Amino acid sequence: MHKFAALLMLLLVCGCAPMKTANPSVDSGAPSSTVLVYREWAYNSGGPSMYFGEGGSYYLSLRNLEYSEGTLNPGKHLFVVTTRGSQDFSLQLDLSPGSRTCLKAYADPANYAKMIAPLLMNLTSLFKLETVACPGSSFLDSYTKVPKT
């Protein structure tokens, strides 16, 4: 019983650990790539902030109906989306110099089933990420722009 209580406390503490965001390093003078990330509205994950980044660094935090846009060095990137206490979901992309890439972050549809057994929330990813055609400005009118950190 004590082992179970210790494991439960460890999961709770890890789930409450603060996550910090930092600006990505971009080479000055070199052609960069632009990345736009937006998070769809979803009831099944509306509470927690979603963090976007790569390599253990998170560039921004988004809530429902928020987006952000920034520049990164071209080349291969392994992007992740996560939230406190859940597993990362990753997406590998190769950004071309001068390109604009748009990413849609959305709640995992399986989150509804995870509500029955909340421990599953810590063992799986709450969010997914996919490349999409860049939306027009009228689409983003219903979203709030989040400044880069």
Q: Going by C-beta distance under 8 Å and a sequence separation of 6 or more, which residues neighbour residue 120? A: 113, 114
> CA 90, CA 130: separation in Å to the nearest integer?
9
Retrieve residue 123's tokens: 């063992």
Reported as a single tens digit per residue, the pLDDT across 64-84 is 999 999 999 999 999 999 888
Reported as a single tens digit per residue, the pLDDT across 102-140 is 999 998 776 555 555 555 556 566 789 999 999 998 999
Reported as a single tens digit per residue, the pLDDT across 3-57 is 544 444 544 444 455 555 656 667 677 789 999 999 998 765 556 888 999 988 8
| Predicted structure pTM score | 0.78
Residue 54, Cβ neighbours under 10 Å: how many?
A: 18
